[in-house]
Amino acid sequence: MKPLLCPPSVRTALPFRLTLLMTLIATSLSGCQTINQAGDSVGRTTLGCVGGALLGGVIGAAVSGEKGALKGAAIGLAAGCVAGYAWEEHEKELRRLAEEENMRIEIERVYAQQGAELQQRRAEQQASSPQQEPQTVGLVAQVADEAMFNVGSAELTTAGQRQLDKLAALFFKNRQQEEQKKAPVLVIGHTDATGDAAFNQQLSEQRARQVVEILARQGIAREHLYYQGAGAGRPLADNNTEAGRAANRRVELVELQDDQVLAQRIAAEQQNPRYIQHGTSVVGQSKSSVPLKSAAPKTKKSPTTTPTTAKTSGTKPVATVAKPNKTSKKKSAIAASAIDFGGKPASSQWELIASFKPDYSAGFGLISSAIANEAPLASCSQDAPRVIGEVKNLAGKAVEQHKTTEYLPGMNGKVWAAKVNGHVVYINPVAVLKEDAQLAQQPTIAVTEHYDQGQRKITARYPAVATTYKGKDNLLMRVFIEDPQAPMQCLDILLPYGGPQAQQGALYYDKVDQEFVADYAPRNTSI
């Protein structure tokens, strides 16, 4: 595709002073190699203003000559400035507050992802014109939880209350512009992986609820406030180091352009492979539940509701958490599998690492300025099911969700199976939605022992918890077996984006006192 240029008639119609003005603006930024470099040197808002002026001027000239060009440049200048100014100022204020309160706040921008055609056009124009920054549609602030809450409690410390009051005032100030008043704010609580996963999820949800209550008291409308407890399910660092656990204990504040972008963000985070770079377990910690102490007043009772039944509206939340469920879903010690799957001792390196390249661009119409680190992905045997709560609204408003019913080809709810050392292992069903590659239904794992010896009946069935993660070339389906007596721990399967046969896979199981892995690449079958 050739670069988009003004027609010759338009170029010759531009008087010298206007042509010179446009040329100076363009060449002043054309040497910038990346948008980040340009943004750092002249300011993101300035870049947006210049881009708007250039585009407005060219369009105006094409329609109405010199007067149209000048008018179009003025309109484009205003539009470009307004689009980026609010987010840029908000980011500056967050950084100022972090310095004032000695808080660790990591800030990333959320951009509207551009279509392939527009990206190609920009690439072709890069050598001759400045590249504009993608449209900013939100900010994400990861606020480190350094003594913000009492240990094992949703009760704020004195310092935490002061910091959050200032943070809430800043967010309220940013919403004084008309276009920002209805911007949704999502607060997500995160913990480290120490302790019981269900307990951590409830704790993180109640902490997030505390934060949005403070935002509401500052004046932000309750219907624009959302919260979620992610527990230890979205780690940013290694839970086996103190520094890593400290990085994972955080409160995430997400402010977005509108409810549609919020829905896109929620969907993207459900499958973000950024979070499987680190496991959700701690080496040396028993797989059984580890209760944490509550620092709440003795006169208050801990709620006993599950995350899915907690109320989302009403009075101030109780600053305590439910007692953890003491039923372990993981084996507390390695035991021998009742079935020999003919595998080999598992390596410390993930067996599928060379075949799965994570797609960090989300694929939901959004892209983040945050750069995923290069930590290698671990196998499912070094991971655990992610216990993450639903997104809730402080006023009880339903969260917008995009529903799809079309499946990826070959993955429309049928049984997939493969033989492993003479036994057949089934996944029923494999149901993957086409638009977002999420699972439409959780599977059951079934086994037929000694299939090669004529056995055709199902020997046993086991409930499972599965998640999909997008890769550049394929889809990772990670399946955890819920029954601790099952003959396998988990499955990692690489699925094509449509087709009846898995590209590659690994089945993890225990043999004597060691972990083993066997190849497992199921297909859509009628066995």
Question: In this model, does residue 7 exceed pLDDT 70?
Answer: no
Whether the Cβ atoms of residue 187 and residue 252 lie closer than 8 Å to each other = yes
User: 418 has which bridge partners?
Assistant: 425
Residues of the chain with pLDDT > 90, as a percent, come to 54
3-state secondary structure of 340: coil
Q: Residue 116 is encoded by which pair of tokens?
A: 């392939």
More confident residue, 393 or 77: 393
For 123-136, give the DSSP string.
HHHTTTSPPPPPPE
| Strand intervals (E) in 236-374 | 250-256, 344-345, 366-368
Q: Read off the pTM.
A: 0.76
In the chain, domain spans: 8-102, 136-292, 331-383+403-527
More confident residue, 288 or 350: 350
| pLDDT given for residue 247 in this prediction | 94
More confident residue, 94 or 318: 94
Assign residue 410 a region: left if phi > 0, alpha if psi is -120 to 50, beta otherwise? left
Whether the Cβ atoms of residue 223 and residue 395 lie closer than 8 Å to each other = yes
Whole-number Cα distances in Å, 236 to 205, 277, 327, 372: 18, 8, 27, 9
More confident residue, 438 or 188: 188
More confident residue, 370 or 243: 243
Q: Which CATH architecture has domain 136-292?
A: 2-Layer Sandwich (3.30)
Question: In this model, does residue 445 exceed pLDDT 50?
Answer: yes
Q: How far apart are CA 205 and CA 211, in angstroms?
A: 10
Identify the CA nearest to 207 among candidates 162, 150, 246. 150
Residues 6+ apart with CB under 8 A from 204: 188, 189, 190, 191, 229, 230, 231, 389
